[in-house]
Amino acid sequence: MTIYVDADACPVKAEIYKVAERHQALVQVVANSWISVPRVDWITLTVVGRRLDEADDWIAERVKPGDVVVTADVPLAGRCVKAGAWVLAPNGRAFTADSIGMDLAVRNLMTELRSADPLGMSGGGPKPFSQKDRSAFLQALHETLVRLRKGP
């Protein structure tokens, strides 16, 4: 089992490392530029090019059933769910085969609404990442790894 981290904007990398160590899981951190990661043999940093979606492509080409992917990127989540991986957003929300269609539809709708408002007058944007989100992620990752260890 490997935990793949879409790392460039991931706010829960420290939490991933903590839970992965407890569960003896490998962590593959994927980023478009160098970032600091702990120097341990079970964490690997892969720096891909700066091409749009290059980190996403790298992860999607390697992920397999039984792996875990941490990303807020809905299209990447969809590709990984299709490959049989377990996918979590940084707030702990799971992307599943049952939910990914709606997740993609909502994401596309929001993209269209933002493009129809070029001055950004509709305001909004994502809510700030909170301690509650961080705690929910820790719990979700732990539960996911326990479920995977137990098998089907």
pTM: 0.85
Taking only the tens of pLDDT, the chain with its 152 residues reads 899 999 988 999 999 999 999 999 999 999 999 999 999 999 999 999 888 899 999 999 999 999 999 999 989 999 999 999 999 999 999 999 877 666 666 655 556 666 666 665 555 566 788 999 999 999 999 999 999 988 76
Per 3-state DSSP, the chain is made up of helix, strand and coil in percentages (nearest 5) of 45, 15, 40
Element (DSSP H or E) covering residue 87: strand 86-88
Using alpha carbons, select from 103, 99, 92, 88 the residue that is nearest to residue 130: 92
Tell the residue number behind the tokens 């792996």, with chain if given: 67
